[in-house]
Structure formats: structure tokens, C-alpha cells
Amino acid sequence: ASPLAAAAVLDGRRLYPRRADLQAVMAVDDAVRTAELGDALCDQAARREAAHRADPVGCARREVESAMAAAARVAAGKQLADADVAELGCALGDVEVRDILYALAVGQGAGDAETLWAMLARTLPAPWRVEALVLLAFSAYARGDGPLAGVSLEAALRCDPDHRMAGMLDIALQTGLRPEDIRELAHTGYRLAKRFGVRIPPRRPFGRRAC
């Protein structure tokens, strides 16, 4: 078995037998809802801009905390309201918020976060969904799921061929960079979380099953 397949078995994750099964993880599942979210996202972007100008650190801290709470709700099988999805979609557009959220992929509760990124990838319209796709790809890669990471990156690069993180992860995956090495990118997120005063789950060793 390949190192990535072995890591998947250690982590207790499903191995998808067909490419179509992988694509279904992130495929838009309600085109009408996704289209209608466009207006809500534009309205939320304007509100967020004003809130961020007034208190950038507090705004980012609240958004990270909201994302973690949303991950727990989604993992428990609960639905997010359109307003919550719009808030998350806009928050992912903030570089510092996004960098902190990348760190969730290597922490306790990584599985909950990945469930949220997949849900957002299936729900958000372009261009907002690209960040959810890249977070999903990083989470999958960091846990040793190369096939899911690859399909997520393909979808992200179709949305935005110039996306830096997607391009970097794609090159790393294609050249065989180990999951243990890609996980080191999460250090930035932990440093930012400390600076912003937000508590995120502690790191878990590679190969230990995600909660």
C-alpha cells in the first residue's frame, strides 16, 4: 500500500473506490440555494468590511471562533442557516482568518473542520467556494488523503487558476511532499491564533485518528 493509503487506514478514514465518489464530496448539491447565496454574500461582505475597519483583531477572533462552533454543529448533523454560511464565506476571504483556520487541520477536532469545509464547498457559489475547497484540500493532504486533496485542488484551480495556496499545494502533492511536511504550514496559524488571542485545538500527532 502507498504511504497515503496506509495513513488513511491508520486514521480510520474511508477510501473512495471511484473518482466520482471523491467529486461528490465537494459537488454543489443545491444549485438554487447556491445561486441565491450570492446576494447574501455581497450584503455580508459590506457589513464585514465595516466591522473589520472598526476592530480588525476582534473581528478576526470572532470569525475563527464562529467557524469552530459551526464545524461542531455541522459535524453533529445540524444545518447552517444561509446567514451563517454567508458569514463564513466572507470570513474565509480574510488572509489572517484563513491562515488560522488552516491550523485546524492538524489539531484535535480536525475531522469536524474538514466536514465544514466540504459542506461550504458544496454550498457556496464561486468565487467564495474556492477558499473552502483549498481548506478541504489542505485538511485532506495533512491527514494523508492524497486523492481527496487532489480532486479538491483541481476544483479550486478551476475556480481560480492563480490561487497561490492551491497552486503550491498542487505542486507539493504532484512532487510527493509527505503529509508530515505539509503539516508544518500550520505553524503560521498557531502563531496568528496566539497573537489574536483565540484558542484553537492543540496539535495531534500525524497518524492519530481525528476526532
- Under the banding of pLDDT at 50, 70 and 90, the label for residue 209 is low
Distances (CA, A) of 208 to 101, 144, 146, 204: 20, 11, 17, 7
Distance CA 126, CA 129 (A): 5
Distance CA 21, CA 24 (A): 5
3-state secondary structure the chain: CCHHHHHHHHHCCCCCCCHHHHHHHHCCCCHHHHHHHHHHHHHHHHHHHHHHHHCHHHHHHHHHHHHHHHHHHHHCCCCCCHHHHHHHHHHCCCHHHHHHHHHHHHECCHHHHHHHHHHHHHHCCCCCHHHHHHHHHHHHHHCCCHHHHHHHHHHHHHHCCCCHHHHHHHHHHHCCCCHHHHHHHHHHHHHHHHHHCCCCCCECCCCCCCC
Residues 169-182: tens digit of each pLDDT: 999 999 999 999 99
> What torsion do the CA atoms of 152, 206, 70, 125 make, to the nearest 10 degrees?
-10
Residues 3-50: tens digit of each pLDDT: 444 444 444 455 666 778 888 888 888 999 999 999 999 999 999 999
Q: What is the mean pLDDT of the chain?
A: 91
Residues 124-135: tens digit of each pLDDT: 999 999 999 999
Residue 102 reports pLDDT greater than 90? yes
Residues 55-86: tens digit of each pLDDT: 999 999 999 999 999 999 999 999 999 999 99
pLDDT at 18: 76
Residue 207 reports pLDDT greater than 70? no
Residues 132-147: tens digit of each pLDDT: 999 999 999 999 999 9
pLDDT at 4: 46
Half-sphere exposure for 154 (CA within 13 Å, toward CB)? 12
Residue 191 reports pLDDT greater than 60? yes
Number of neighbouring beta carbons within 10 Å of residue 45: 14
Q: Is the separation of the CB atoms in 193 and 200 below 8 Å?
A: yes
Q: Is the separation of the CB atoms in 94 and 60 below 8 Å?
A: yes
